[in-house]
Amino acid sequence: MNQKPLVWVLVAIAVLVLVPLLGMIGMMGTGIGMMSGGMACCAGMSGWALVWMLLLAVAIIAAIILLVRSVSRS
């Protein structure tokens, strides 16, 4: 049974979860908040956050599909 696609999807999920977390920790450490940029910064951040959440949702759904396929084959 080939587990390589499942491993790649799980790595992608880990990256999509850890990168924003590290960014938030960095923002807290430097004291730079989202409100410092005004509403334009918040609107831009909201757009990127939506894209990021959609990518994470797709990766999680792909992981679930791969897990179900691997269980149903065995």
Residues of the chain with pLDDT > 90: what percent? 0
pLDDT interval class at 18 (50, 70, 90): confident
Q: Please count the structural domains in the chain.
A: 1
Q: Once rounded to an integer, what is the mean pLDDT over residues 1-23? A: 80
In a domain, 54, yes or no: yes
Euclidean distance between CA atoms 28 and 45, whole angstroms: 16
Domain-located, residue 2: yes
Domain of 51, in residue numbers: 1-13+34-74
59 exposure class (CB count in 10 Å sphere: 0-12, 13-18, 19+)? buried
pLDDT at 54 over 70: yes
The pair of three-digit structure tokens given for residue 42, joined into one six-digit string? 């918040």
- 5 lies in some domain: yes
C-alpha–C-alpha distance, residues 48 and 38, integer Å: 16
Residue 23, domain member (yes or no): no
For the segment 40-65, the average pLDDT, to the nearest whole number, is: 76
In a domain, 19, yes or no: no
Question: b or e along 11-44 (b: 16 or more beta carbons within 10 Å of the residue's beta carbon)?
Answer: ebbeebeeeeeeeeeeeeeeeeeeeeeeeeeeee
pLDDT at 32: 60
Residue 35's pLDDT band, with cuts at 50, 70 and 90, is: low
**Rg, Å, the chain Cα set:** 17
Residue 20 lies inside a defined structural domain of this protein: no
